[in-house]
Amino acid sequence: MQRISNKRPIAIDLFCGAGGLSSGLEAAGFQIAAAVDFDSKACLTYSQNHRKTKILCEDISKLKVGDVLSQADLLGKDISLIAGGPPCQGFSMANGKTRTRKNPKNRMVNHFVRFVREIRPPLFLMENVLGFKSIAQGKVVQSLRVRFSQLGYKIKLVTLNAASYGVPQHRLRVFLIGSKNSEKFQEPPPCFGVNIKPFVTVREAIIGDLPSLIPPGSHVSNYAVPPSTAYQSKIRGRAKKFYNHIATKNGEVVHKRKSLVPVGGNWKDVPKEFCDIKVQYSATYKRLNPDEPSITVSNFRKSMIIHPFENRGLSVREAARLQSFPDSYVFCGGISSMQQQVGDAVPPLLAKAVGKQLLVMLS
């Protein structure tokens, strides 16, 4: 049975994945009392890192709201926030074939609405990819505005760049925030950017203190040297060792292609005799520039994002750092699952910035 404290506002995280959104909201001051996801490996990661949260690894379409509240010992408790990111595959800009209203994964949004309708918390937070705004010419967002307004919520839709909040990665995410109070959500003021403070770079995040890697690598590793940047110190905390420094081992041809891409380059820099590359986006075979924030880390294995100085893809830990997960955060499952978990996650530092603004609305 979970112990619920009255000192911190209670939240439920739907479609919690590996726990990036929960981590940020917890850091902001919320207590995540319950979390739901269908991916068993992501749930394993979540439970490993959020031991005080009741995790329900179930299909949300088959879950009754009352069952969630009962299992998390929340019946009769005041729930301040319902948060979550319904599966984004149907909304992703990178997934043109699936970006339709009929994609079954888009229907998961209806279950988020169902939980809000039955619990009626003072706040809700729905996170999604940038393509969420434009699906069906914006009709999906407009429909949600109407449905939530009918429930008595004032709605705010904002697009935020994770790099503006200390994440070493340019990653645009959409947040749909609803409030039953008279006050609408105010965007968190950016802490990094032009005329503020330089963005955190790839070099500051992953270069120097992590050892060189010959794939596949090791699940448990020792640091190469002490932290050399403020970000590395922050992300390491008191950790004496770190986890998940593993990367996909590629064949000879793929390794050759990666070796031919210069810093900041991509698949276009691969000579024609090596260029039988079926997927050709700007992120395909992109070698990161160490002196800039990373490009968006989605599924970094499939897009073949390349380490700035080594001819390999990113390790799970390197990608997790670019997402602002602390080194103490352990990912579980096979390597493909871990890569997907990291790529799908909400960067905790971005979630923390949003969470702090939500707390202001509750005060």
Dist CA 107 CA 90 (whole Å): 9
Mean pLDDT of 315-330: 98
Q: What is the band of 161 on the pLDDT scale with cuts at 50, 70, 90?
A: very high
Asked if the model's pLDDT at residue 339 lies above 50, the reply is yes
Binned at pLDDT 50, 70 and 90, residue 284 comes out as: confident
pTM of the model: 0.91
Task: Name the nearest CA neighbour of 106 among 116, 92, 125.
Answer: 92
Per-residue pLDDT reduced to its tens digit, 163-183: 999 999 999 999 999 999 877
Confidence of residue 359 (pLDDT cuts 50, 70, 90): very high
CATH 3.90.120.10 segments of the chain? 202-344
Q: ω into residue 216 within 30 of 0, thus cis?
A: yes
Residues carrying CATH 3.40.50.150, the chain: 10-190+347-362
Tens-digit pLDDT profile for residues 187-243: 999 999 999 999 999 999 999 999 999 999 999 999 999 999 999 999 999 999 999
Tell whether the torsion through CA atoms of 241, 244, 250 and 254 is positive or negative. negative
Give the three-class secondary structure for 355: helix
**21, containing H or E segment:** helix 20-28
Active-site hit among 16, 43, 57, 88? 88
Note the pLDDT tens digit of each residue in 68-116.
999 999 999 999 999 999 985 555 444 445 444 455 555 789 999 999 9
- In the predicted model, is pLDDT for residue 5 greater than 60? no
Chain-centre distance of CA 362, in angstroms? 24
Q: What is the fold, at CATH topology level, of the domain defined by 10-190+347-362?
A: Rossmann fold (3.40.50)
Percent of the chain past pLDDT 90, that is, above it, reads 77
CATH code 3.40.718.10 for 202-344: no
> What type of residue sits at position 250?
N
Q: At what angle do helices 139-150 and 108-119 cross, to 10 degrees?
A: 20
DSSP string, 289-346: PTTSPBPP-SSTTTTT-B-SSSSSBPPHHHHHHHTT--TTPPP-S-HHHHHHHHHHSP
- Is 57 part of the annotated catalytic residue set? no
Is-contact 176 159, C-beta < 8 A?
A: no
End-to-end CA distance of the chain: 28
In this predicted model, what pLDDT tens digit does every residue of 120-136 receive, in sequence order?
999 999 999 988 888 87
